[in-house]
Amino acid sequence: GAGVSQSPSNKVTEKGKDVELRCDPISGHTALYWYRQRLGQGLEFLIYFQGNSAPDKSGLPSDRFSAERTGGSVSTLTIQRTQQEDSAVYLCASSFRGLAGNTIYFGEGSWLTVV
């Protein structure tokens, strides 16, 4: 597709359930990022993938959060045993080769509400 595609666009889940959020980056982009944005706040870095290299997981807030990237393209962010504080928009982004200064393009986000 032309842009970064994320699904679902909205998800309401019960506390304690697991959720999976999907990201399809721009074709040809090897770098993929996940960010979290709580209501009225800035973006928090979660994880970064570049090609076949080991991901940078330094932003993951707890071991309930994990992400994988299959075939160097689609990525899935998984949140286990969701808590109310996990409610946020989860934004995926991609860039060409992840080089310094390369433009990073964002998707529209997956809005997660934990009730």
Partner 1 sequence: EDQVTQSPEALRLQEGESSSLNCSYTVSGLRGLFWYRQDPGKGPEFLFTLYSAGEEKEKERLKATLTKKESFLHITAPKPEDSATYLCAVQMGSARQLTFGSGTQLTVLP
Binding residues vs partner 1 (CB under 8 A): 4, 31, 33, 35, 41-45, 48, 50, 56, 59, 91, 98-101, 103-109
Q: Cβ of 111: how many Cβ atoms within 10 Å?
A: 17
Could you give the angle at the alpha carbon of 35 between the alpha carbons of 28 and 63, nearest 5°? 110
Q: Which is nearer to partner 1, 16 or 51 (CB)?
A: 51
We find the least distance from the C-beta atom of residue 83 to partner 1, in angstroms, to be 23
We find the least distance from the C-beta atom of residue 74 to partner 1, in angstroms, to be 17
CA-atom Rg of the chain in angstroms: 13
Q: Which is nearer to partner 1, 18 or 53 (CB)?
A: 53
Q: Which is nearer to partner 1, 34 or 82 (CB)?
A: 34
Q: Cβ of 81: how many Cβ atoms within 10 Å?
A: 11
We find the least distance from the C-beta atom of residue 36 to partner 1, in angstroms, to be 11
Give the residue carrying structure tokens 């080991």: 54
> Is the preceding peptide bond at 55 cis, omega within 30 degrees of 0?
no
We find the least distance from the C-beta atom of residue 54 to partner 1, in angstroms, to be 13
